[in-house]
Structure 1
Amino acid sequence: MKKIYSLFAFLSLFLLSGCNVYNFTGTGPIDAKTFQVNFFQNNADLIEPGIDRQFTLALQDLIMNQTNLNLVSNSGDLVYEGEIVDYRISPMTATAVAADGSVGAAQNRLTIRVNVRFTNKKNEKDDFEKQFEFYNDFAGTDLPTGTVLNNAIQTIFERITQDIFNESLAKW
């Protein structure tokens, strides 16, 4: 019976030691200890006030929540920088012609594209510059303001920040 407990203890230690190599976020061992997210300036033709700060904070929060890296304001081992390059609202489907001859949109789409430059000072082969884009559809009768706009931006930023995380750290 003592041999079974010893074998169980050995197997448990072996399995637990493997948790350092892989975790549920998909990141493997990271040589870096710190990261910095520089302010993502809004350079889109159509400016929505505050989304630059909102995006920068969303990316910082995601990395802090999914890694053990420490956020620093400069000299980070991993550096995320870039700009919001596109913010647009487009009609997706038209409604029938109204009595006054006007045509409305049955559905609109908010699209945001972000250009990201990632630098890994510990492993330069991981560096990249890439654009990430996502969209959110909303009813044509809704105005892109208030709750409709906030929910759309949050959905878009959740997807874009997760895509950036996967590209830079998860290596899916």
Structure 2
Amino acid sequence: MKIIKQKSLWLILPFLFLSQSCGIYSFSGASIPANMKTVTVQFFENNAPIVVATLSQQFTEALKERIRSQSRLSIVRENGDGIFEGRITDYSIKPAAITGNERAEAMRLTITVSVKFINTLDNELSFEQQFTRYEQLQGSNIQSQEGTAIANINRQLTEDIFNRAFANW
């Protein structure tokens, strides 16, 4: 009888520790407060010197998709418990590697986004910050690589923003 009680204790003990944890933790590393249910993602306008017509829409949708896939939060049009707003402040393509005959062998595509996150439930978790990521483009035909590079950069930027808002990284 004593052995059965000890085995039962070892089976129940891990569940007790799990139920006593604070906040909600997901496998994405996010720690979203239990009372946060909704988030609003406003349209990120492109205010960069070089304007790519579809970049604003692509970035805004990439951020929404990151939130949908990495959290339990619902996205609402306005008055969310968390609000993302901001703008694209830089989009540039500059030489990254110059050959001996002064030709660019590689170019660097850089995107910078200025983000303001308002946590309406706990203002101390709100922030305003710039995020920058880049991707190397090889060869002379950078236009054919630009779409893939933008998608990769958006994925990196949205990961950085999500982690800053919900994982305190």
Q: TM-score normalized by structure 2?
A: 0.90
**In structure 2, how many angstroms separate the alpha carbons of the residues matched to 1:123 and 1:20?**
14
Shift of 1:29: 4.3
Amino acid at match of 1:53: Q
Pair 14,29 (structure 1): closer, same or farther in 2 beyond 3 Å: farther
Amino acid at match of 2:25: Y
Task: Show the counterpart of 1:28.
Answer: 31
**In structure 2, how many angstroms separate the alpha carbons of the residues matched to 1:51 and 1:92?**
22
Shift of 1:11: 1.8
Pair 58,29 (structure 1): closer, same or farther in 2 beyond 3 Å: closer
The superposition leaves residues 115-151 of structure 1 with CA deviations (integer Å, 9 ceiling, x where unpaired) of 10110000111121111000000113232x24x1121
**In structure 2, how many angstroms separate the alpha carbons of the residues matched to 1:21 and 1:56?**
26
Task: Show the counterpart of 1:151.
Answer: 148
Aligned residues: 165
The superposition leaves residues 25-55 of structure 1 with CA deviations (integer Å, 9 ceiling, x where unpaired) of 2222413110010000111110111010000
Amino acid at match of 1:127: S
Poorly superposed stretches of 4+, deviation over 3 Å:
18-21
Q: TM-score normalized by structure 1?
A: 0.88
Cα pair 2:89 2:113 within 8 Å, conserved: yes
Gaps of 5+ in 2: none
User: Tell me, what secondary structure is at the counterpart of 2:90?
Assistant: strand
The superposition leaves residues 90-137 of structure 1 with CA deviations (integer Å, 9 ceiling, x where unpaired) of 00111222xxxxx32011000000010110000111121111000000
User: Tell me, what secondary structure is at the counterpart of 1:155?
Assistant: helix
Cα pair 1:104 1:140 within 8 Å, conserved: no
Gaps of 5+ in 1: 98-102
Cα pair 1:35 1:71 within 8 Å, conserved: yes
**In structure 2, how many angstroms separate the alpha carbons of the residues matched to 1:28 and 1:139?**
38
**In structure 2, how many angstroms separate the alpha carbons of the residues matched to 1:93 and 1:28?**
40
Q: Provide the alpha-carbon RMSD of the alignment.
A: 1.7
Task: Show the counterpart of 1:110.
Answer: 109
